[in-house]
Chains A and B, each alone.
Chain A
């Protein structure tokens, strides 16, 4: 399992995946707004999204786990 941790604090602007979605390497999963800029988080590996711990509008902290991806297809 891969846990996607946030590199900085910010607010969640868009969540583009749902639990159960299959993502490829480079699929944009969510976008934070940090200091008035959009910061996209892309899947570092392919797999199935098993958990999403953020929702749009959330104020989030550095190192918070945002999304979890499991090996293989759903």
Chain B
């Protein structure tokens, strides 16, 4: 054996290499095979599928637990079970992190927990979007060291969730649930601006079936407790996607509308959809019969830049439609009513969804386009139980304090207190000829206000119709446009050109909006 040169670090360099090789094996071949057999990717495969090829710059590949023999030679190395680092998505830098489920089921090891918590700090420090890819169960009763007596953090440590909260106010945060996610990872999953879960592989659980059975006596599977059917309907996650790759594609799409942080504007792309494109379909899409519904998503897709509409939260608060899109290449928030679901009324969960969406636009300085067909707050005993009036009023006040540019297109109904949520301060307001507005929709309003008169008429039904006709004439957009109650009344076919001219006017105002968003206390 050749004696080691005194100046050489060859032994250590070899050990670094050996540790790297062992770290890349993750939980080992059989754990990786098991992960694949369950139809799930490993964290390294997930990151590779998300970021531009070769762009992942990992931090802490060398962190983990090493064992050495008496001579100090490495006998084993178990890498930290959370990966974190930089990557690029469509050429733009992000921070990406996620649990490695092939080791300890993603339940954090000591170094894994440190890396996990660091993800938010890193995104805050570099002011770039954060993407978390979750599959893990959070802490176990033994703590991250696995021993019953673990050393706790110092009493003066900053709260662990402070950086989570700060990140949400500073950089875009997008997360995916790709396997079972419980405890701390579940809490972090929902602390995001956009979240998506894999229908094929993910469940989100505050606590898993065994804990639930013991504490509550309830026997439920993971899927029953926290599968996509539960969580895309209650708004825990925004979207459900078919599988892991589809989730990652949704995250990429979401980020394409986002700035890097609150101090920058979202990138404006070149637009190949003509900005003067008129669409005659829009002139006939709203039925004259008020009882008949129409397809609001069709309207959205025909107004915005071709194929640019990305819906967020389609499964919950379904009377409201929210999503991102582009107008002449400029990212905008789209908020519309869906009259096919509870007549498009402002339900409690619809109001929550709309409020969160307005906050997203406010935070990242995205102009809002509201396509208004609002019949008012949802009514009935269920609506009262859900505190629709309080949650709805929170949405109304959010709009009232908004500082981003708004364009509101009055498509059909605009009634009650709830309609106020669809108009921002200093907003640009245009009406379609089908627009109706007032304190109450004609049908319900007339029947109640003229109850006695209708009942006393020789033909009550005819009198009711007569009154309804009279009042609906008053709710028409023409008198409103005459008194400059709207900026204009337009041919619906011309909505896109109109909004493209508007976006060019307001784009110049956006730089002045950059920086922290101010949210006042709300009901």
Q: How far is the CA of A7 from the CA of B380 in the complex (A)?
A: 16
- Nearest-CB distance from B168 to chain A (Å)? 32
Q: A35-B375, A37-B292 are in contact. List 9 more A-B contacts (CB 8 A).
A: A9-B380, A35-B378, A35-B379, A36-B343, A36-B443, A37-B291, A38-B292, A39-B293, A39-B341
Which of A7, A33, A36, A38 makes the CB contact (< 8 A) with B341? A7
Q: A34 within 8 Å of B by Cβ?
A: yes
Cross-chain contact B340 with A35 (CB below 8 angstroms): no
Cross-chain contact A8 with B342 (CB below 8 angstroms): yes
Chain A CB within 10 Å — which of B290, B291, B382 has the most? Answer: B291
Closest B residue to A31 by CB, please name it. Answer: B291
Give 12 CB contacts A-B under 8 Å.
A8-B341, A9-B380, A35-B342, A35-B343, A36-B441, A36-B443, A36-B444, A37-B290, A37-B292, A37-B343, A38-B291, A39-B340
- Nearest-CB distance from B379 to chain A (Å)? 8
**Interface residue SS majority, chain B:** loop
Q: How far is the CA of A8 from the CA of B291 in the complex (A)?
A: 17
CB proximity to B under 8 Å, residues A20-72? 33-39
Q: How far is the CA of A59 from the CA of B453 in the complex (A)?
A: 28
Q: How far is the CA of A34 from the CA of B341 in the complex (A)?
A: 8
Q: How far is the CA of A5 from the CA of B51 in the complex (A)?
A: 40
- The interface residues of chain B lying within 8 Å CB-to-CB of A36 are 290-291, 343, 375, 441, 443-444
- The interface residues of chain A lying within 8 Å CB-to-CB of B378 are 35
CB proximity to A under 8 Å, residues B325-366? 339-343, 345
Chain B CB within 10 Å — which of A34, A35, A38 has the most? Answer: A35
CB proximity to A under 8 Å, residues B434-480? 441, 443-444
Render B233-259 as a binary contact track against A, CB cut-off 8 A, 1 for contact.
Answer: 000000000000000000000000000
Measured CB to CB, the residues of A under 8 A from B are 7-9, 33-39
7 shortest interchain CB distances as A-B pairs:
A35-B343, A37-B343, A38-B291, A36-B443, A8-B342, A35-B345, A37-B293
Q: How far is the CA of A72 from the CA of B291 in the complex (A)?
A: 34
Q: How far is the CA of A33 from the CA of B443 in the complex (A)?
A: 14
Render B288-300 as a binary contact track against A, CB cut-off 8 A, 1 for contact.
Answer: 0011110000000
Cross-chain contact A34 with B291 (CB below 8 angstroms): no
Q: How far is the CA of A9 from the CA of B290 in the complex (A)?
A: 20
Q: How far is the CA of A34 from the CA of B443 in the complex (A)?
A: 13
Q: How far is the CA of A39 from the CA of B342 in the complex (A)?
A: 9
- The interface residues of chain B lying within 8 Å CB-to-CB of A8 are 341-342
- The interface residues of chain B lying within 8 Å CB-to-CB of A9 are 380, 382
Q: How far is the CA of A69 from the CA of B39 in the complex (A)?
A: 32
Closest B residue to A33 by CB, please name it. Answer: B291
- Nearest-CB distance from A46 to chain B (Å)? 22
Chain A CB within 10 Å — which of B339, B342, B379, B380 has the most? Answer: B342
Cross-chain contact B443 with A38 (CB below 8 angstroms): no
Q: How far is the CA of A22 from the CA of B345 in the complex (A)?
A: 34
Q: How far is the CA of A19 from the CA of B318 in the complex (A)?
A: 31
- The interface residues of chain B lying within 8 Å CB-to-CB of A7 are 318, 341
- The interface residues of chain A lying within 8 Å CB-to-CB of B375 are 35-36
- Nearest-CB distance from A61 to chain B (Å)? 9
Q: How far is the CA of A36 from the CA of B443 in the complex (A)?
A: 8
- The interface residues of chain B lying within 8 Å CB-to-CB of A34 are 342-343
Q: How far is the CA of A36 from the CA of B444 in the complex (A)?
A: 8
- The interface residues of chain B lying within 8 Å CB-to-CB of A39 are 293, 340-341
Cross-chain contact B293 with A38 (CB below 8 angstroms): yes
Q: How far is the CA of A39 from the CA of B293 in the complex (A)?
A: 7
Q: How far is the CA of A8 from the CA of B343 in the complex (A)?
A: 10
Closest B residue to A35 by CB, please name it. Answer: B343
